[in-house]
Structure 1
Amino acid sequence: MFSINTKGIGDTAVDFKPLWVAPRRYTYSDMLVLVGGRKNNQQTSREALVFDENSQKWQRLAKLPIRLYKASHVALHSVLYVMGGLTTNTKHSQVSKTVYTLSLKTNQWRTVEPMLEPRFAHQSVSYLHFIFVLGGLGPDRHVTDSVERYNSMFNQWETVAAMPEAVLHPAVAATNQRIYMFGGEDAMQNPVRAIQVYHIARNMWCKMENRTVKNVSAPAAVMGDKIYIIGGYTRRVIAYDTKANRFIKCANLKERRMHHSATVLNNTLYVTGGRHINSHDIIEDSDNFECYDAKTDTWTSKRTLPYKVFDHGFLTLTCVSQTWAKA
Structure 2
Amino acid sequence: MVIKMELCHFISDHQAKEVVRSMNQLRKLNALCDVELVVDFERFPAHRVLLASCSDYFRAMFTNTMCESARTSVPIKNVSPCVMRIILDYVYAESITINADNVQELLPAASLLQLHSIQQACCEFLERQLDSSNCLGIKAFADTHNCTELSQSAEKFICQNFVEVIKHEEFLNLSKEDLEGLIKRENIAIDGSKVSIFEVCDTYAIRSIVIMLEQSKLESRKTLPRLSLKEYMVIVGGFGLNQQPIDVVEQFESKNNEWSLLPPLPTRRRYVSATQLGGQIYVIGGYDNANRLSSVSVLDCRVMQWKTVANMNVRRGLAGVVSYRDKIYVAGGFDGSSRLSSMEVYDPNLDKWEMMPQMTIGREGSSLVVCADMIYCIGGYDGMTILRSVNRFDPREGRWITVTPLSVGRSGAGVAVVDDMIYVCGGFDGSQHLSGVECYNPRMDMWSSVANMHNARCYSSTAALEKKLYCAAGYDGATLLNSAERFDPLSNKWSPVAAMSTPRCDAGICVYQRY
**TM-score above 0.5, yes or no:** yes
TM-score, structure 2 as length reference:
0.54
Instruction: Give 1:8's aligned residue.
Output: none
Q: What amino acid is aligned across from residue 318 of structure 1 in structure 2?
A: Q
- The answer on 1:215 being equivalent to 2:410 is yes
Name the counterpart of 1:114.
Answer: 311
Distance in 2 between the 1:294 and 1:83 partners?
Answer: 30
Greater shift in the superposed pair: 214-223 or 20-29: 20-29
Distance 1:231 1:132, change over 3 A: same
Partner Cα separation in structure 1 for residue 284 and residue 406 of structure 2: 32
SS of the aligned residue for 1:236 comes to: strand
Q: 1:107 to 1:18 in 2, by over 3 A?
A: closer
- Structure number with greater Rg is 2
Change (3 A) 1:308 1:298: same
User: 2:371 touches 2:421 (CA, 8 Å); kept in 1?
Assistant: no
Map Cα deviations across residues 195-241 of structure 1 (whole Å, 9 max, x no partner). 11111111100123636242111011011120000111322111100
Distance 1:207 1:55, change over 3 A: closer
Q: Secondary structure at the match of 1:256?
A: coil
Matched, 1:47 2:248: yes
Structure whose residues are more often strand by fraction: 1
Q: Is the CA contact 2:487–2:495 (under 8 Å) kept in the aligned structure 1?
A: yes
Matched, 1:224 2:445: no
* Structure 2 CA distance for partners of 1:96 and 1:210, relative to 1, 3 Å: closer
1:264 equivalent in alignment to 2:464:
yes
Query: What SS does structure 2 have at the residue aligned with 1:68?
Result: coil
Correspondence for 1:33? 234
Q: Which residue of 1 aligns with 2:361?
A: 165
How many Å separate the matches in 2 of 1:26 and 1:54? Answer: 16
Specify the alignment match of 2:257 in structure 1. 56
Gaps of 5+ in 2: 1-165, 176-225, 429-433
Pick one of 21, 24, 36 that aligns with 2:172: 21
Q: CA deviation at 1:266?
A: 1.0
Cα deviation 1:274-312 (Å, max 9, x = unaligned): 0114xxxxx221111110000000000012211211111
Which shows bigger deviation, 244-253 or 202-211? 202-211
The residue that corresponds to 2:435 in the other structure is: 235
- Cα deviation for residue 120 of structure 1 reads 1.6
Please state whether the residue corresponding to 2:233 is helix, strand or coil: strand
CA shift, 1:26, in A, is 6.9
The equivalent of 2:327 in structure 1 is 130
Q: Does 1:70 align with 2:271?
A: yes
One-letter amino acid of the counterpart of residue 28, structure 1:
L
Aligned residues: 293
Which letter maps to 2:380?
Answer: G
User: Which of the residues 63, 76, 81 maps onto 2:282?
Assistant: 81
Alignment pair present for 1:247 and 2:443: no
Whether the 8 Å CA contact 1:77–1:318 is kept in 2: the answer is: no
Partners of 2:435 and 2:441 in 1: how far apart? 20
Contact 2:319 2:366 in 1 (8 A): no
Q: Which runs of 5+ in 1 are unaligned?
A: 1-16, 278-282, 321-327
Structure with more of its chain in helix, by fraction: 2
- Contact 1:87-1:94 within 8 A present in 2 as well: yes
State the 1:186 CA deviation: 1.4
SS of equivalent to 2:457:
strand
Cα distance between partner residues in 2 of 1:299 and 1:135:
30
Query: What amino acid maps onto 1:259 in structure 2?
Result: Y
Shift of 1:314: 2.3
- TM-score w.r.t. length of structure 1: 0.84
Cα distance in 2 for partners of 1:257, 1:69 equals: 16
1:31, 1:254 → 2: CA distance? 23
- In the TM superposition, residue 187 of structure 1 has moved relative to its aligned partner by 1.5
Asked whether the 8 Å contact 2:234–2:250 carries over to 1, the reply is yes
Higher RCO (CA < 8 A, seq sep 6+): 1
Is 1:203 equivalent to 2:354 in the alignment? no
CA displacement at 1:57 relative to structure 2:
2.4
Taking the aligned partners of 1:211 and 1:306, their CA distance within structure 2 comes to 33
Q: Distance in 1 between matches of 2:424 and 2:278?
A: 23
The SS at the match of 2:435 is coil
Distance verdict in 2 for CA 1:54–1:226, change over 3 Å: closer
Q: Does 1:293 align with 2:493?
A: no
Structure 1 CA distance, aligned partners of 2:228 and 2:473? 30
Superposed CA offset, 1:244-278 (max 9, x none): 1111210012233211011111111111000114x
Whether the 8 Å CA contact 2:390–2:406 is kept in 1: the answer is no
Taking the aligned partners of 2:386 and 2:504, their CA distance within structure 1 comes to: 24
Inter-CA distance 126–75: structure 2 relative to 1 (3 Å threshold): same
Q: What residue is the counterpart of 2:344 in the other structure?
A: 148
CA 41–216 in structure 1, closer or farther in 2 if over 3 Å, else same = farther
The percentage of aligned residue pairs carrying the same residue is 25
Higher mean Cα deviation, 206-215 or 284-293? 206-215
Q: Select which of 377, 393, 401 maps to 1:181.
A: 377
Q: Is the 8 A contact 1:193 1:214 kept in 2?
A: yes
C-alpha distance in 2 between matches for 1:119 and 1:194: 20
Give the superposition deviation at 1:23.
2.9
The answer to whether the Cα contact below 8 Å between 1:135 and 1:168 also exists between their aligned partners in 2 is: yes
Please give the alpha-carbon distance, in whole angstroms, between the structure 2 residues aligned to 1:113 and 1:82. 12
Question: How far is 1:153 from its partner?
Answer: 2.9
1:23 aligned partner, one-letter code: L
Distance 1:175 1:153, change over 3 A: farther
Instruction: State the Cα deviation string for residues 104-150 of structure 1 (Å, max 9, x = none).
Output: 211100011111112222111111211111111225x2111111001
RMSD of equivalent CA atoms: 1.9
Q: How does 1:83-102 map to 2 (within 5 A)?
A: 83-88=284-289, 93-102=290-299
1:3 alignment partner in structure 2: none
